[in-house]
Amino acid sequence: MSPASSSTGSVVLFYLVSSAAAFHLSVHLESVDQKSEFLTLALSHQNQGIRHLQHHLAVDDPAQRESVLASLLLCMTYEPITVERNFWLTHLRGASQWLHKVNVTSWAHTESTITMYQMLVSTATMLRSQILSEEVAQDGNFHFEMETMLEPYYLHHIFGLPKKSLEVMSNMIAMAVRLHQYGEEPPLDLERFEMELYLSIPPDCHIPAATRGQEDLVHHYAQIFYFGSIIYCKRRLRGLPLADVQPLVEQAIDHIEALANYKSRPYSPILWPVAMAFFEVQDILLRKRVLAWLDFIIKQSTLLMWQKVRPLVCSLWEERAISGKEEIYWEEFLGEPSTPSIMIV
């Protein structure tokens, strides 16, 4: 066991990448002994990585910031699938506090650091929608700032997330936090905001040469974010009943299903906008389409996340069949003690 005080940010990243790989292998191996062996290895490397990361967050060596940024991003993308809520919430708080003190605009100038920062901000923004009651979600504690979003913007052609869509999502979720924690009603110009949301139709995306051939895939990703954001606005900010968003849900699902046309390599869309549609489905036939697509993506992506999402979606649908819970919000359902821990990122 190497002392954290003498390590570098690359050591943190090594342990966390190794842990993520071991977790992934432990899920897909058939041998019980091998599963156990890789799970033990994953937990050991995870503990080592976190120990070293805590040291670097406290010390803040400018030479190690890029590796620390990558490590925080890794913690907030794979750990919400493998650990309990309180554990990854600690990472979210730590990342927010770290960003608050390091002035990311003064040192993140390479393509890799800019991309990682944009990924970290977008991931934290989506996580925020699930933790409306948490202290870290408050404006004064949530330091994943859109105002400091670095340029150029890369997430459109990588994940199909246009910058305008991310900005609108960030504003919406901040409003939802204030509404939930303080009873602060959305601004009187909410209708104007909603109109802006409708008008933020994803633009055509310039696809770099290295990722040519993915134009249609990126188009569908962007449309899924577009409809998912409108659904979130109508349900969480406007407080509209499920019945009123069903046309939007079906339009989103049309684009989600279109992803099944791409089978040449493993891939996975971002969960958040997909979940915004799937959580709100009422029609029985539409639910069958959702389950069929989930069966497809479980095989296509090989990610544990989708294996956990399928029963979760079904459980929410069943919950809404209970008298008095017909309109329960998805984040309230996920916050119930009996609901398995998974974060929507």
Mean per-residue pLDDT pooled into runs of 10, the chain (345 residues): 74 94 88 94 93 92 94 81 74 93 92 95 95 94 87 93 94 93 80 90 81 82 97 96 98 97 88 98 98 96 89 96 97 87 79
Q: Is the dihedral of CA 290, 195, 169, 262 positive or negative?
A: positive
| Integer Cα distance of 141 and 119 in angstroms | 19
| Integer Cα distance of 312 and 333 in angstroms | 10
Helix count and strand count (H, E) for the chain: 14, 0
Residue 55 and residue 39 in contact, taking contact as beta carbons nearer than 8 Å:
no
| Integer Cα distance of 325 and 339 in angstroms | 15
**Largest separation between any pair of C-alpha atoms in the chain:** 60
Q: Note the pLDDT of residue 115.
A: 95
Q: What is the number of other CB atoms lying within 10 angstroms of the CB of residue 127?
A: 25
pLDDT tens-digit map of 239-298? 999 999 999 999 999 999 999 998 888 889 999 999 999 999 999 999 999 999 999 999
pTM: 0.93
The string of DSSP codes covering 107-139 is: T--SHHHHHHHHHHHHHHHHHHTT-TTSGGGST
Q: What is the number of other CB atoms lying within 10 angstroms of the CB of residue 256?
A: 25
pLDDT tens-digit map of 42-73? 999 999 999 999 999 998 899 999 999 999 99
In sequence order, the 6+-apart residues with CB closer than 8 A to the CB of 246 are 280, 281, 282, 283, 286
Q: Is 110 exposed, middle or buried (0-12, 13-18, 19+ CB in 10 A)?
A: exposed
Which helix (H) or strand (E) covers residue 213, if one does?
A: none
**How would you classify residue 160: left for phi > 0, otherwise alpha for psi between -120 and 50, otherwise beta?**
left
CA distances (Å), 194 to each of 101, 168, 180, 188, 234, in order? 34, 10, 19, 11, 8
Q: Note the pLDDT of residue 142.
A: 96
